[in-house]
Structure 1
Amino acid sequence: MMTQETGPPSSLDEVRGWFPKIDQLLFTWFLERQERLGERGDLVELGSYLGKSAILMGRHLREGETFTVCDLFDSDAPDDSNQAEMRGSYSSLTRRAFESNYRAFHDRLPEIVQGPTSLILDHVQPETCRFVHVDASHLYEHVHADIQAAHVLLPAGGLIVCDDYRSEHTPGVSAAVWESVATDGLRPICVTTQKLYGTWGDADAVQDDLLDWLAARDDAWHEVQQVAGRRLVRVKGRGATRPPNEVGRLKERLARADKRLARAEDRLARARGELEAVRGSVSFRLGRAATALPRALRGRRP
């Protein structure tokens, strides 16, 4: 059983787990955007390991909302393949370690469902959530079911985050995630090296806000790609191995500025057209004629 030999963690960096800085920034941005827009709903995490991402999510829980965490922890897996995965990757995972880490940052624990993630729909009602983090099994069948459960839990504008969507050792996750994109209407918003962020609602509005936010940051690099005719924002932290493409980033910002300028020029042209229409009207000409003599007399005064 894992213990905290050096005492409880005092910062998120001290909690074991795979949660890169860029994803910490994005989790925070997406959750704060929901709060800023007044979007309410519960939070769900499917697979929590030792609580690193759960701790961050818990910071954004508001009064009247519920945060539910579902994980096997010390329980047996539902099938042999899942049990083998647990032994190989998560042998140190215990509920006590998760709770100890979480309590180091929060007064109250989330609602904990200890068991397979297939139980989540027995504990959380449909369309009651605004943010679901899928980070449990790497096996296709389980990930597919988790994404389907997230679809049930989220209203159209809710957000899903899928972990390990592209790693070479997790092809089952990749298959389940992109199948949902291709056949189930999941719309990717952005991707990092580790996670895919998406929605079954309007991705364009979220992407517009995200691009504005990213353009003002010095600690993140991004580019916009096209996937099946839709935008997909790729985001990397500044400390990434691949150097940021500053030229491409500047070109993108310039192109967006050009679009704003074009819209402003279009509004100005319409305003000028409306002004010319007024000047050409009969009422305007009559008004000018009526005031012409007084204006002329004023101009002749010594």
Structure 2
Amino acid sequence: MTAPTAPGTRRPSSLEDVKGWFPPLDQVLFARFLTRQERLGERGDLLEMGAYLGKSAIFTAAFRRPEERFTVCDLFDADAPDEHNAAEARKSYATLTRVAFEQNYLAFHDELPYIVQGPTSEVPGHVEPGSCRFVHVDASHLYEHVAADIVNARAALLPHGVVALDDFRSEHTPGVSAATWEAFFTGGLRPVCLSTQKFYGTWGDPEPLQEELLATTEWREGLRMSVQEIAGQRVLRFSGRPRRPAAVPVSRFAAAVPGPAPEPVAAPAAAPRPVPPGAGRRVARELLPPIVTRALRRRMRAGRP
């Protein structure tokens, strides 16, 4: 598929070139959950509600199997369903267009995901209940919308599925915090772990996920971890800056790696220039004091050396 062209944008040569909020810590955690599901043979589709310019969607798509569907829902440049949502879009996502998303995505993948351009309330009409193994919620920050997105995520997930809720603790997104912890206290959502940006949970049993995160240490290089308890529920908390996971997709527009520079070739030595007759005397006249040069001229006229 040929990537569309968004006016005034360039094709990304790496995931870092794609604007968005998807730090290395969350890339590592996404990779841990998604590769675990693959290793255990857990099948299911993938869903992202709120994609912005595609950074996390590009990463998630690297884990999609051929028989699975990846659904991405975003307003992009469509009209918002209400004025509050429209004001939020004007403030935070004024430059977002579907063309820009597609251009970024197709720089890394051959085919686009299944795109639902519209509010996330349309997701149930496109995603079968109990069909997804992983859902990423990063759409509106308004409480009513986030609460509905969490309900839709639960309906879409398989019993062992994992949900990642973005911006659950940011000071500018209290609606996300309220909806997230409401789902925890009253909606059966059980925490697996927290990053500095996302809440990872399941409506299944979180213990096997947590035990695997605790059992292996090499992936936690560069991370700080603590184990806490909230209302009788264990939750792991991670922070820091880990090494980037090996699963980061590569852009088809990645710059070529330069080869070794050629060895410098020494220039041939220049032949000595002949010294014209009388050059020594002329230099002497220019450099020596006048009294000395006059004495030299007298000696030369007298024929003495």
| TM-score, normalisation: structure 2 | 0.76
Separation in structure 1 between the aligned mates of residue 210 and residue 22 of structure 2, nearest angstrom: 22
- Partners of 2:6 and 2:103 within 8 A in 1: no
SS of alignment partner, residue 102 of structure 2? helix
Q: Is the alpha carbon distance of 1:6 and 1:72 closer, same or farther for their aligned partners in structure 2, counting shifts above 3 Å? A: closer
- Say which of 94, 97, 101 aligns to 1:98: 101
Aligned to 1:133: 136
Aligned to 1:18: 21
- Are 1:80 and 2:83 matched, yes or no? yes
Separation in structure 2 between the aligned mates of residue 110 and residue 231 of structure 1, nearest angstrom: 35
Of structures 1 and 2, the one scoring higher in RCO (CA 8 A, sep 6+) is 2
Aligned to 1:70: 73
Aligned to 1:209: 212
1:215 Cα deviation from its structure 2 partner: 6.1
- Say which of 37, 58, 69 aligns to 1:34: 37
- Are 1:48 and 2:51 matched, yes or no? yes
Separation in structure 2 between the aligned mates of residue 10 and residue 29 of structure 1, nearest angstrom: 25
- Are 1:112 and 2:129 matched, yes or no? no
1:11 Cα deviation from its structure 2 partner: 1.2
Q: Is the alpha carbon distance of 1:74 and 1:5 closer, same or farther for their aligned partners in structure 2, counting shifts above 3 Å? A: closer
SS of alignment partner, residue 216 of structure 2? helix
Q: Is the alpha carbon distance of 1:190 and 1:157 closer, same or farther for their aligned partners in structure 2, counting shifts above 3 Å? A: same
Identity in percent:
60
What are the Cα deviations for residues 160-187 of structure 1, in whole angstroms up to 9, with x where unaligned? 0000001111000000000000001100
1:10 Cα deviation from its structure 2 partner: 1.7
1:203 Cα deviation from its structure 2 partner: 0.3
Aligned to 2:165: 162
Give aligned pairs, total: 238
Separation in structure 2 between the aligned mates of residue 64 and residue 215 of structure 1, nearest angstrom: 31
- Say which of 183, 187, 212 aligns to 1:184: 187
1:4 Cα deviation from its structure 2 partner: 6.9
- Are 1:219 and 2:222 matched, yes or no? yes
| TM-score, normalisation: structure 1 | 0.77
Separation in structure 2 between the aligned mates of residue 189 and residue 215 of structure 1, nearest angstrom: 19
What are the Cα deviations for residues 24-71 of structure 1, in whole angstroms up to 9, with x where unaligned? 111111100100010000000000000000000000000210000000
Separation in structure 1 between the aligned mates of residue 218 and residue 178 of structure 2, nearest angstrom: 32
Instruction: Note the residue ranges of structure 1 that are not aligned, 5 or more in a row.
Output: 240-302
- Partners of 1:34 and 1:40 within 8 A in 2: yes
Separation in structure 2 between the aligned mates of residue 20 and residue 46 of structure 1, nearest angstrom: 18
Separation in structure 2 between the aligned mates of residue 6 and residue 185 of structure 1, nearest angstrom: 43
SS of alignment partner, residue 35 of structure 1? helix
- Partners of 2:44 and 2:158 within 8 A in 1: no
Separation in structure 1 between the aligned mates of residue 46 and residue 159 of structure 2, nearest angstrom: 15
1:213 Cα deviation from its structure 2 partner: 2.8
1:220 Cα deviation from its structure 2 partner: 1.7
- Partners of 2:190 and 2:202 within 8 A in 1: yes
1:217 Cα deviation from its structure 2 partner: 3.0
Q: Structure 1: which amino acid aligns with 2:208?
A: A
SS of alignment partner, residue 159 of structure 2? coil
1:155 Cα deviation from its structure 2 partner: 1.8
Aligned to 1:294: none
Separation in structure 2 between the aligned mates of residue 137 and residue 96 of structure 1, nearest angstrom: 20
Separation in structure 2 between the aligned mates of residue 12 and residue 216 of structure 1, nearest angstrom: 20
Q: Structure 1: which amino acid aligns with 2:18?
A: V
Aligned to 1:196: 199
Separation in structure 1 between the aligned mates of residue 219 and residue 85 of structure 2, nearest angstrom: 43
Q: Structure 1: which amino acid aligns with 2:171?
A: E
SS of alignment partner, residue 220 of structure 2? coil
1:3 Cα deviation from its structure 2 partner: 4.1
Separation in structure 1 between the aligned mates of residue 129 and residue 151 of structure 2, nearest angstrom: 11
Moved more, 57-66 or 207-216: 207-216
1:7 Cα deviation from its structure 2 partner: 2.8
Aligned to 1:153: 156
